[in-house]
Amino acid sequence: MQLTSVPLLVPFALTAALVAGCAGSKESGESPGTTTEPSETGETGRNGPTAVWTEAFDTSSAGALSGVWGHAPDDVWIVGGVTEQGEAYHYDGAEWTQVAVPEGVGLLVWVYGFATDDVWAVGVDGAGAHWDGVEWSIVNFGTTEDLWGVFGFSNDDLWIVGGDPNEGDPLIIRYNAGTPTVVPVAASENPRGAKSLFKVWGIDGELYITGQTGTLLHWDGVEWRFESGGPEANQDFVSLWGSGLDRIVAVGGRGNGRIAHWNGTTWDTVAPSGIGGLNAVTMVSPTEAVVGGVNGYVGSYDPSTGILTDEGFLTFDDIHAAWYDGAGTTWAVGGNFLEPFTGVAYSRRVEDG
């Protein structure tokens, strides 16, 4: 196993009082960490506590960082890389370390696992990798299509989604007991003609998938079906996470952000004023989802009230993924997926004001 220590930086705090409002962008001339005046719909968020965002480690030599997940607060993985070569970074509760990925495994996009010695990652050109507690090894998922998301209820029942956003058909792979099987997406399940599916997440034996053109798919354990997100669900949904079958949040949008909330019966999608596209979401509690998106935007969304609280801009790079460790820390990663492939990584804690 090849390990490379990654220097931790002296923490700097990019703080934003938790007040709902409209965020600026790099086009507006604002610097990272600033906020704009509240939007016309800007309800007041919680008073007192402040979200403190801190740069996690020195990413100056990292490629783009696109996925983050952990088994525990002291066992967290970040994946990314450059087009031809994936990268992986591990946090042991004290420091981040780069861990070697086999040569030839392309840029890794998403990571999910079940134990400290059982972690899976997928990426571009059909890239697949598995961590067994000692080293990463190559996994063949039976495709050369780009793979954007992976989730599973057990290590012998993985679900993987992907596809070329520009042509072809959306891709669902079920990796059962080491054998990949393509799951056909029927026309009735894809009425908007999505060519690519981006993320998959599930709970209690049910699965949800996000994709192009407002696509939301639901597996109830027996069959797949398309579910409408409402009139505002007219742009790509990029990612999703939940805290229960009646509390799931999906985010997306290309020109303007979209946030969709599943209440157990229906999806309701909103387009927050002044917010660019969103890529990242993780649930901190049933009433709080941390979201991130273009130009380093981060915020906190309460699905019970529909209030989005702006927490500012962390970087000029995009935030691509977020994960909450269950013990007070949210990790967020991102970067630039074009040459020269830059990466960013942050941690978030909420402190009393």
Of 28-32, 60-64, 213-217, 339-343, the range with the lowest mean pLDDT is 28-32
Return the CATH number at 221. Answer: 2.130.10.10
Rounded to the nearest angstrom, the gap between the alpha carbon of residue 320 and the centroid of all alpha carbons in its chain is 6
- Looking at the structure of the chain, the number of domains it has is 1
Residue-wise DSSP of 44-58: ---SS-EEEEEE-S-
Look up the domain containing 128 and give its range. 3-351
Residue 14 has pLDDT above 90, yes or no: no
Residue 46 has pLDDT above 70, yes or no: no
Tens-place pLDDT, residues 184-221:
999 999 999 999 999 999 999 999 999 999 999 999 99
pLDDT band at 352 (very low <50, low <70, confident <90, very high): confident
Distance (Å, whole) CA 346 – CA 43: 27
Distance (Å, whole) CA 85 – CA 124: 10
- Indicate the SS3 state at residue 189: helix
Over residues 284-293, mean pLDDT: 98
The CA R_g of the chain, rounded to the nearest whole Å, is 19
pLDDT band at 6 (very low <50, low <70, confident <90, very high): low
Tens-place pLDDT, residues 294-349:
999 999 999 999 999 999 999 999 999 999 999 999 999 999 999 999 999 999 99
Tens-place pLDDT, residues 72-81:
999 999 999 9
Distance (Å, whole) CA 2 – CA 212: 38
Residue labelled with tokens 């079940």: 114
Residue 119 has pLDDT above 90, yes or no: yes
Rounded to the nearest angstrom, the gap between the alpha carbon of residue 245 and the centroid of all alpha carbons in its chain is 19
C-alpha pair distances (Å), 146 with each of 114, 142, 150, 196: 23, 11, 12, 9
For 196, counting Cβ atoms within 10 Å of its Cβ (0-12 exposed, 13-18 middle, 19+ buried), the class is buried
pLDDT, averaged across the chain: 89
Distance (Å, whole) CA 216 – CA 135: 35
129 strand-pairing partners: 121, 138
The pLDDT value recorded for residue 8 is 45
Over residues 177-189, mean pLDDT: 96
Question: For residue 7, what is the DSSP state?
Answer: P
The pLDDT value recorded for residue 249 is 99
